[in-house]
Structure 1
Amino acid sequence: MTQTNEARPEQVQYDIAAIMGGIYGDGIIGLKAAFEREWVQRLGEELAVLYREALARPGGAVGRGSNRHYVEIHPEDISGFVDLVMHPWVTTVCEAVLGPRYQIVEIGFDVPNPGAKDQPWHRDFPATDETLVGRRLNSLAFNLTTVDVSEDMGPFEIAPGTQWDDPSSFEHGMFPPQSLWGRYAARAQRKMPRMGDISARSALTIHRGTANVSDKPRPVLVLGVDAPGAGNDERHDLQITRRFWEQLPESLRGHLLCRLVDELEPIVQGHTIEGLMMGDA
């Protein structure tokens, strides 16, 4: 799965001020048509197989609400991993926000299936002192849909600027009390990306998946990237086989915070707090 029309990094210049302003302001930015639809279609086919396998394996998927799952995968499970992480927009955003020594710590996907309900407003993990005191964002979540999202498919909803909200009243540092939900609903933006679009956000910006009342699932790929020392790698198990490692560009290897293995091991999903607070899948 090769991104044949991708411009080389040296041919592309992105507005660093706009990137920083978007992540530190609204908490989310995006790039339209970053990948060809054929590339995304192949990715969607691969994720469908991985999803079936995960559901059949104990601990292979974690519930994130009714009819909604998250599955963490291995980089070499998808044929377009290198295309994704070396896309010039992705690398530029990572370097601008997280610094030149950014670390890829997570690859996985969410699937809100038909019948998925509104999630509670939440963050993906608690904010640390680096953000609460130092006012620095030290992690990013990239999202790439594998379908054209419509209003009835349970679009992702985000409340811009809320990455800076005080979490002192949040359960587990992640889930705001219902007394604050009106604030997020008033600020909410629904995202309707199309195949090929990619976004980057602070996972601390308050967001939720909405109800999927269609007859189609809405799979979305998730790439997690940290600044050095952010610590989100402790929540994940990024594995790469030595044979795959040898095939990777040298410039990419230094950005992968992973363990090298001879054979890939099944990932047992964590995120138990999210599953508890969002209900059974």
Structure 2
Amino acid sequence: MTERYSQQQIQAFTQAVLEDGFCILRNHFSPDTLQTWQEAFTPLLTEHIDREGNLKNRGTSRYYVTLPFMAPFADPAIYEDDDVLAIVARLVGEDAVMCQLATDTPLLGSEYQAIHRDAPPLFPEIEQETPPFQLAVNFPLVDVTPENGPFEVARRTHRVTKEEGLRLLEAGVVQLEPITLKMGDVMIRDVRGLHRGTPNYTDTPRPMAVIGYSRRWLLRPEVSIQIPREEWHKLSDRARHLLRFNPVVASLEDRSAAEVYQAYAY
């Protein structure tokens, strides 16, 4: 793996996240690799809907599915990407941890989500936001179009309280922007930016993968990655360091059938 961006470009991406709340790396991951993910994900989604379709914790016809840490999803070309990790390090520290490997997928019949954040403020009593502490690295497993449920986000709302961000939206000072992406595009975002999922009007599911990275001291036990011992032994030193706080298990066959990450909107 090699960096394709200069240090100046990495800093520009970092600054975009600091200022706007997100940045987009176009044509960054291999579409062929993501096509393999999409094909492996389809039966996981079907199984999940059969098992938990009545929960609807992400909204009508919208499903959160944790990905198993095994091929093709346990791919160091994705979670150890040098450019992504360079941006992550500048935002949440050189000692960041990888804490999430999952997907969010709206189907036909899905609706607009309530505007929300993916994490509460660290210190709500001071009514002031902190530097970044948790990031979502999103990349779609299909092209994201205006018709199949693009993510919408309001720039710069990660820098103010949720209440102030909602007031700015109501006043028209900021707007929700739909983010359309091609397979291979990568969005890195501060999870505090106000956002929502939108309806998928097509017959095709629109899976969006997410890898979470956070500062080393942030533990959200509902969001974790179970790592089979066999996979752990294959990891590079850097990957072991990124994944050091996640549980290593004998086998994924014994993992909980139910998604633990139920409360997601703040």
TM-score grouping bracket, smaller chain normalisation: 0.7 to 0.9
* Counterparts in 2 of 1:254 and 1:134: CA distance versus 1, 3 Å: same
1:20 match: 14
Per-residue deviation, 1:32: 0.8
Q: What is the alpha-carbon distance in structure 1 between the residues aligned to residue 20 and residue 123 of structure 2?
A: 20
Asked whether 1:151 is paired with 2:138, we answer no
Asked whether 1:224 is paired with 2:212, we answer yes
Partner deviation per Cα, 1:171-227 (whole Å, 9 max, x = no partner): xxxxx87x7653579522111100111110011000011122222211110111111
TM-score normalised by structure 1 residue count? 0.83
The 3-state SS of whatever aligns with 1:273 is coil
Counting only pairs closer than 5 Å after superposition, residues 111-150 of structure 1 correspond to structure 2 as 111-129=105-123, 133=128, 135-150=130-145
- Which stretches of structure 1, 4 residues or more, deviate above 4 A after TM superposition? 58-62, 130-134, 183-186
Q: What is the alpha-carbon distance in structure 2 between the residues aligned to residue 185 and residue 194 of structure 1?
A: 29
2:183 match: 195
The 3-state SS of whatever aligns with 1:50 is helix
* Counterparts in 2 of 1:20 and 1:38: CA distance versus 1, 3 Å: closer
Per-residue deviation, 1:119: 0.8
Asked whether 1:273 is paired with 2:260, we answer no
2:249 match: 261
Identical amino acids, percent of aligned pairs: 25
Larger displacement relative to structure 2 (179-188 or 42-51): 179-188
Asked whether 1:162 is paired with 2:152, we answer no
Counting only pairs closer than 5 Å after superposition, residues 33-44 of structure 1 correspond to structure 2 as 33-44=27-38
Counting only pairs closer than 5 Å after superposition, residues 173-188 of structure 1 correspond to structure 2 as 182-183=170-171, 186-188=174-176
Per-residue deviation, 1:261: 0.9
TM-score normalised by structure 2 residue count? 0.88
Per-residue deviation, 1:53: 2.1
Per-residue deviation, 1:90: 1.5
Indicate conservation of the 8 Å contact 2:128/2:160, yes or no.
no
Counting only pairs closer than 5 Å after superposition, residues 62-141 of structure 1 correspond to structure 2 as 63-76=57-70, 78-79=72-73, 81-129=75-123, 133=128, 135-141=130-136
Q: Which runs of no fewer than 5 residues in structure 2 stay unpaired?
A: none
Q: What is the alpha-carbon distance in structure 2 between the residues aligned to residue 60 and residue 223 of structure 1?
A: 25
Counting only pairs closer than 5 Å after superposition, residues 243-262 of structure 1 correspond to structure 2 as 243-256=230-243, 257-262=245-250
The 3-state SS of whatever aligns with 1:57 is helix
Q: CA RMSD in A?
A: 2.7
* Counterparts in 2 of 1:274 and 1:240: CA distance versus 1, 3 Å: closer
Indicate conservation of the 8 Å contact 2:63/2:106, yes or no.
yes
Q: Which runs of no fewer than 5 residues in structure 1 stay unpaired?
A: 1-6, 171-175
Partner deviation per Cα, 1:133-180 (whole Å, 9 max, x = no partner): 57211110010101111111111110000012223x59xxxxx87x76
